[in-house]
Structure 1
Amino acid sequence: MTAQGVPLRRRVLVVIVSVTALAVALFLVPLAIAVNILYHDQTVAALQRDAAWVATAVPDEAARDAGAGLKLPARLSGELAVGGYAVDGTRLFGEGPARSPLAASSRDGHVHDMVENGFLAVSAPVPSDEGTALVIRVATPNEQIDNRIHQAWLLMGGLALLVIALAAGAAVRQSTRLAAPLERLTTAAQALGGGDFSIRAARSGLREADQAAQALEATARRLGDVLARERAFSADVSHQLRTGLTGLLLGLESALSRPGADLAPAVQAALARGERLQEVLDDLVRLSRDSRAPAEPLDVDGLMEEVRQEWHGQLARQGRRLTITVEPALPPVTAQPAAVRQVLHVLLDNALRHGRGEVAVTVSDVGPGIAVEVSDHGPGVAPDSDPFIRSSGHSHGIGLALARSLAEAEGGRLVLSRARPPLFSLLLPGHDT
């Protein structure tokens, strides 16, 4: 798979190296100019000292005698060249050009310097009672100064390259550290797109990348849960709606099988059952997709009245009683009515299909919440079996598994308090008013 754009590793490397090179250049260029000026000024100062020393050592009559008999060293130190000049710039003795504009400029009695004939030279007037009659010129090859400057520049350039190389190494390391977690996140996202909801992105120590990894893992878990609910939804809905749909069809078939029978009551009963099935289907679809309704106090009395109207007739047709007991002054409970209604629907349908005798629904105060208990006098559940296991071969496991999931989604629990005769308890936590 290809992607457009510059890779992060290269981008970080280019940015860091470019910024480092720019910083080094901004620092190095002024420093190189300063080194050039420094070496030049140092050499001029040294030449001025030598010229002043020679000027004080030369007698006044050296100008008249053109330096006859004057003994001056040809080199004071290193590559220095010393010469005596008249005020018009003509060389009288020593080394140097035959005519020196630099020496002529010192007729004003001041020390001057300039690059002359490839030499950095300094001219100093010889003090005399009659004014300036002789000028001493001291020079050194300018090439030596340039070599020193160039050596300093080479050293600074080497150090600059070393700094840039170190910056490049740090940039490679940092770009790898930054890109690696993003690459792992990309791999994890691709796995998530392929249906792997168990992805785990390794922690990198980078807060932003770790936060993104945690968000991706949470999203994967969320998607996995949603997909699992969607996959189980068809089986759960089939189980929950089978009884009602079967009763609706049987009622219509029974009415049609009686010649001359009045079909209006059968049609009305079918419509009532159809509306009830539609309510059940809407509730299950909404709850399976985790569409959370705004929190609201649960109307226990109203919910029990719905239970009475829906199940009293069905149990009575089997010759069984429905008893509903609600304790007074129950603590307030917040839950989705649709979720609690579906849980009770599963429990009562289970009691209707698999139980015997009287069915009792009891709502009691259990401290911080309430307990809604559903019991009958049937054979119950075998001690070694789990009624909440989701299995198509189990007589009631699919519906009870769904009921437990709905209860847990509301922050409650659905437990089998007694196996024989069966007693199921729906525990719902209370809330502060």
Structure 2
Amino acid sequence: MRGSPSRPRSLRWRVLTAISVVAAVTVTMFAVPLAIAVRDLYRNETVTALGRDATWIAAALPDENLERRRTVRLPAQVPAGLVVGVYSPAGRLLYGQGPAYSAVAARAGDGHPHDGREGGFLLASAPVPAEGGQAGVVRVGTPYAQVGERVDRAWLAMAGLALLAIALAAAFALRQSARLAAPLEQLTRAAQALGEGDFSIRPPRSDITEADAAGRALAATAGRLGEVLERERSFSANVSHQLRTQLTGLLLGLDAALARPGADLSAAIEVAVQRGERLRTVIDDLVGLARDTRTGSTPLDVPALLEEVRLDWHGPLAARGRGLHVTVPPDLPTVAASAPAVRQILRVLVDNALAHGEGEVSVDASAVGDALAIDVTDQGKGIDEDRDPFARRAGGDGHGIGLALARSLAEAEAGRLVLRRRSPPVFSLLLSPPAQ
């Protein structure tokens, strides 16, 4: 049977837990050996003091066989609280306090001091030297509970310091976890805002290198997405206008032919078919461009493209008594651009010259350093000084939405579309060479 999946923990909880556990383990690793060392230190200090007192008392006793004496007077300066007894070398109590038999005293029968525990007392024994042997043994003890109290007080102080250290580590962990989690929470909120369509997000700085780098990347991505979406919206609106314009011209031609008595319907249908073919080409190009927003990576065949312009627009201009002049000099620089995009840009420029300009229309290609310039001009009055020809307008006598579409297509191809001269108007399409 599978266990239920564990609930995910927040970063704050993980950092707080990790630092607190590490602090607790570290304190324990140091505290336990230190506590044992303190206990041994206090015991050894007490044993040393007892041994010193036992040796001093033994030196003060007469150096004769103490088993034959009826009484022995101990020194008056014996510290209070000590249990002092005089024993035979065999460990039998002769004078003073203590049990009738003491193993610690008996071990001192070998002529050397000894220590140990008996009956709740910490003891030290020292032999009483005599001529030709050993007069007896002095046994000095203190209740082991007194040593235990000192050890307990020391351990209590150490435990308090350990808890204080762990509490300080937990407080630091709490602050650090909040500091580490806050940038991620801000990035989460920024990502949610981005998902809701806010492309102006700017996550605040946190002074954490990785979080700041992620924030900058998210802000840059949001900016790029905003630009792409705005370009797509503008492209869609401009394309709709461009298609409606072509379709309106086709329908108006058919309506005019049907409304005129005796009109040559065959000629009207032929013109409509030609316009329908051009509209199909426009649709194919724009659909292809909408599906692929990357700039062209193959060299552009400029002579073939300008020949298409000449074939497509010579008839419409000639029908209005206007000429079309196309210039393609040899040795033009090689540029990388999408042929459908450049075709639509030139279609917009020539169509604007046909609709709003006068006289002959010229389409001239030329080299500008290692770049390519294609100029479209006519002999009309041009564009007013206070008017931006690339601003989107649904009506009026300006160049309207088509030029806005043309400029967006040029920028998508890493090129530029500029108005080089207002009167007579000269529009220049600048295309860069392929990236090395």
Deviation at 1:269, TM superposition (A): 6.4
Partner of 1:186: 188
The CA distance in 2 between the partners of 1:95 and 1:57, in whole Å, is 17
Distance apart, 1:271 and its partner CA: 5.7
Q: Secondary structure at the match of 1:283?
A: helix
What amino acid sits opposite 1:166 in the alignment? L
Of stretches 114-123 and 63-72 in structure 1, the one that deviates more from structure 2 is 63-72
- Of 132, 138, 141, the residue aligned with 2:140 is 138
- Aligned with residue 100 of structure 1, among 99, 102, 118: 102
CA gap 1:70/1:300 in 2 versus in 1, 3 angstroms = same
**Shift in Å at residue 254 of structure 1?**
7.2
Report deviation, 1:331: 2.5
Residue 320 of structure 2: aligned partner: 318
Of residues 23, 28, 36 in structure 2, which corresponds to 1:25? 28
Match of 2:221, SS?
helix
Look up the match of 2:3. Answer: none
CA RMSD of aligned residues (A): 2.8
**TM-superposed deviation, 1:412:** 2.3
Task: Give the Å deviation of 1:188.
Answer: 2.0
2: distance between equivalents of 1:29 and 1:67?
A: 51
- Per-residue deviation, residues 14-60 of structure 1 (Å, max 9, x unmatched): 22212211221122112212221222223223323333333344333
Unaligned stretches of 5+ residues in structure 2: 1-6
Matching residue within 291, 294, 302 for 1:292 = 294
Which residue of 2 is the match for residue 423 of structure 1?
Answer: 426
Distance 1:69 1:172, change over 3 A: closer
- The 3 A distance-change label for structure 1 pair 218 and 290 is farther
Contact 1:66/1:93 (8 A) holds in 2: no
State which drifts further: 175-184 or 382-391.
Answer: 175-184
Q: Indicate how the Cα distance of structure 1 residues 124 and 402 shifts in structure 2: closer, same or farther if over 3 A, else same.
A: same
Distance change (3 Å), C-alpha of 1:111 and 1:259: farther
Equivalent-residue separation in structure 1 for 2:159 and 2:40 (angstroms): 18
- CA gap 1:343/1:261 in 2 versus in 1, 3 angstroms: closer
Alignment of 1:23-422 (within 5 A): 23-66=26-69, 68-73=71-76, 75=78, 77=79, 79-249=81-251, 273-288=275-290, 291-293=293-295, 295-394=297-396, 395-422=398-425
Following superposition, the deviation at residue 185 of structure 1 comes to: 1.9
Offset from partner CA, 1:111-155 (integer Å, 9 cap, x none)? 322222221101222334444441111212212211221121112
Moved more, 45-54 or 195-204: 45-54
Deviations 1:47-88 (A, max 9, x none): 23333333344333152344735332463x463332210123
Amino acid corresponding to residue 136 of structure 1 in structure 2: V
2:202, 2:242 → 1: CA distance?
Answer: 36
Shift of 1:110: 3.5
The one-letter code sitting in structure 2 at the alignment partner of 1:219 is T
- TM-score scaled to structure 1, two decimals? 0.88
Q: Which AA in structure 1 matches 2:297?
A: A
Q: Shift of the alpha carbon at 1:274?
A: 4.0
Q: Would the alpha carbon gap of residues 293 and 432 (structure 1) be closer, same or farther in structure 2, given more than 3 Å must change?
A: closer
Structure 2 vs 1, CA of residues 260 and 375 (structure 1 numbering), >3 Å: closer, same or farther?
closer
Q: Distance in 2 between matches of 1:286 and 1:103?
A: 109
Aligned residues: 428
SS across alignment from 1:292: coil
Deviation at 1:344, TM superposition (A): 1.3
Whole-angstrom CA distance in 1 between matches of 2:17 and 2:280: 64
Higher mean Cα deviation, 124-133 or 390-399?
124-133
**Contact 2:410–2:417 at 8 Å: present in 1 too?**
yes
Range with greater deviation from structure 2 (329-338 or 201-210): 329-338
Return the offset for 1:253. 5.9
- Structure 1 residue 361: deviation in Å? 0.8
Q: Is the 8 A contact 1:74 1:82 kept in 2?
A: no
C-alpha distance in 1 between matches for 2:142 and 2:232: 94
Structure 1: runs of 5 or more not aligned? none
CA distance in 2, matches of 1:221, 1:404: 20
